[in-house]
Amino acid sequence: MSKVIQHSLFTDYDIYLFKSGTHFRIYEKMGSHLIEVEGQKGVYFSVWAPNAQSVSVIGNFNFWNTQEHPLSSRWDGSGIWEGFIPGLEKGTLYKYHIHAQSGQHLEKGDPYALFWEVPPKTASIVWDNDYTWNDQDWLKKRQEKAGKPQPYSVYEVHMGTWKKNGNESLSYRELAEDLVDYLKEMNFTHVEFLPVMEHPYFPSWGYQVTGYFAPTSRFGTPQDFMYLVDKLHQAGIGILLDWVPSHFPTDAHGLAEFDGTYLYEHSDPRKGFHPDWKSAIYNFGRNEVRNFLTSNALYWLDRFHIDGLRVDAVASMLYLDYSREEGEWIPNEQGGKENLDAISFLREFNTMTYREFPDVITIAEESTAWSGVSHPTYAGGLGFGQKWMMGWMHDTLDYFNKDTIHRKYHHGEITFSLIYAFTENFMLPLSHDEVVHGKGPLIDRMPGDEWQRFANLRLMYGYMYTHPGTKLLFMGGEFGQTTEWSIERGLEWWLLEFGPHKGVQAWVRDLNAFYSAQPALYEKQFSNEGFEWVEHGDWENSVLAYLRKGEKAEENLLVVCNFTPVTREGFRVGVPAKGKWKEVLNSDAKIYNGTGDHLNGTVKADKQEWNGREYSIEFTLPPLATVVFRLG
């Protein structure tokens, strides 16, 4: 095997940008790259290890010999070690052997590796991103729709457990058939994948990442994942990825103490150790670390055509005292608890993402009352496109968990979200977090007999889809999965042999189609101009009525929700205009496993004042149901 040849892909300008934390395509230079040097094909390696005594490449090509292929340290103080090894090919296994100043000998995977061995094996693999894309029509339409109101009906998926063949998870290419067909059938606009980046421990759900630049090899190659993205785009479905810049695991082959020092993480455990997840926290104040993270975000948008990133655990990044007791955290330089470095990083990440890819979306999973999460950075916000509406989720599930006879005493819980619904660009999440750790499936939150439980679930989804904001539903919720989600098994697809489950699935399918087809539900979903109460004070009957409004008044919708199992005949609601009001959705229809006894068809408005309006309609309000009317 040939010896290492001194060679560099870096220019002086590259190094300047890297040191300043602003080289947002650094993945084009760092890591392993198949190139040709002076007529010889091989692999160029580069790694950041500024405090190492020496660094060498070990692998299956040199019998993991630590002396055979040493890299050279650059002269410019960048801390980068590099070199070219002729003769190596795609598929070569490798790691970096790092001799630390402390005398330690470390074997580390490549932080920028494009592909890894299937866990529990831990070697990086020389690979490329070559792929012929066929999603040009999707990308063109995405660009045309940038900045315009659009529906986001998101199906949240854990790839390894969505569906299984026996005990085996589906591959990326199998998902490209089964999952794509299902998403089309169910009318979801987007799929959101729990982290696909390589992670050593399957039960972490992907949130403990070691291979930030590599789709997990459990389901195939990077090209197989590209094929899945391509097929989704060709089917008109967008892809969001969960992205985890908040923390990383301390596995020996990963980023922790990478060159024998606290390189990517803070050295002080009061800043650098996460007590909840027993993981390391990034040093957001270090330029090279910010560079690593921001370039990683852009990498998925660039090389994999991803349409958006949902950033995990933002609250844990914003606050120095997150999950810490007094004395376990260090105040910032102003004496406060805000993590100023993390705030700066998040603003920079969002600014660069939207500058480079103005037609994608960033979404924050942020559970506190932090102001301006989805406001522009130039206005003092964090710059996200949307934020999860955790308060809505908690209040809604708490309300629906109550016996229907007691709901009138908790009416404020179901109306409270509209007090702050337009302070952010909110996404309404019923996510994986709500069906794990003993919480049980959503159907188990619903009170009453079997019919009432399923009617309640349909009612909750009807309320969710007509409430302002975009939508997210975790897999299995769309057909009333009856057991808590488990990393060990696939979804209970056999439940669809039964009417109640098939009815919920049909309801979600039609809600998705309705949401996308009705501008009144998404044109002004982040503005108070898109919502108007008709009746929010009828606590005695536990009924809500409201208008959803778009640009055209004739497209406005009247939504009425009955949160009790009492059928209300001759129910009257004020309407904003005379004419005929047609019932366009009714969760009590037979197709949804409802009674089918209380469909209203078209109702003519009477000139009878009601709810402060000149005209009103009278109809039958079904039990535990959402009904929607439209003028005309």
- State the Cα–Cα distance between residues 206 and 191, nearest whole angstrom: 16
DSSP state of 143: H
- Is residue 247 within a helix (H) or strand (E), and if so which, with residue range? strand 247-248
Asked whether 260 and 104 are in contact (CB, 8 A), the reply is: yes
The three-state secondary structure class of 558 is: strand
2: pLDDT strictly greater than 90: no
pTM for the model stands at: 0.96
526: pLDDT strictly greater than 90: yes
Report the mean per-residue pLDDT for the chain.
96
pLDDT in tens, 567-610: 999 999 999 999 999 999 999 999 999 999 999 999 999 999 99
Average of per-residue pLDDT across 293-320: 97
Q: Higher-confidence residue: 82 or 367? A: 82
1: pLDDT strictly greater than 70: no
Backbone φ and ψ for 574, nearest 5 degrees, come out as -70, 145
Residues 6+ away with beta carbon under 8 Å from 498: none
User: Could you tell me where the DSSP H helices lie in 423-572?
Assistant: 450-466, 499-517
pLDDT in tens, 368-394: 889 999 999 999 999 999 999 999 999
Amino acid at position 516, single letter: S
The neighbouring-strand residues paired with 84 are 5, 44
Domains and CATH numbers, the chain: 12-125 (2.60.40.10), 528-631 (2.60.40.1180)
Show the tokens assigned to 139. Answer: 């990308």
pLDDT reported for residue 115: 98
31: pLDDT strictly greater than 90: yes
pLDDT in tens, 137-188: 999 999 999 999 999 999 999 999 999 998 899 999 999 999 999 999 999 9
Backbone φ and ψ for 419, nearest 5 degrees, come out as -70, -35
Percent of the chain past pLDDT 70, that is, above it, reads 100
- State the Cα–Cα distance between residues 252 and 88, nearest whole angstrom: 26
* DSSP per-residue string spanning 154-206: EEEE-HHHHSEETTEEPPHHHHHHHHHHHHHHHT-SEEEESP-EE-S-GGGTT
Catalytic positions: 312, 365
pLDDT reported for residue 569: 95
- State the Cα–Cα distance between residues 176 and 476, nearest whole angstrom: 19
Report which of 427, 454, 426, 428 is spatially closest to residue 442, judged by C-alpha positions.
454
261: pLDDT strictly greater than 90: yes
pLDDT reported for residue 272: 87
Confidence band, pLDDT 50/70/90 cuts, at residue 327: confident
User: Could you tell me where the DSSP H helices lie in 435-492?
Assistant: 450-466
- State the Cα–Cα distance between residues 303 and 295, nearest whole angstrom: 11
Show the tokens assigned to 397. Answer: 């599930």
Average of per-residue pLDDT across 458-479: 98
The three-state secondary structure class of 286 is: coil
Asked whether 460 and 454 are in contact (CB, 8 A), the reply is: no
Residues 6+ away with beta carbon under 8 Å from 141: none
Dihedral of alpha carbons 95, 100, 106, 109, sign: negative
Confidence band, pLDDT 50/70/90 cuts, at residue 632: confident
- State the Cα–Cα distance between residues 611 and 574, nearest whole angstrom: 5
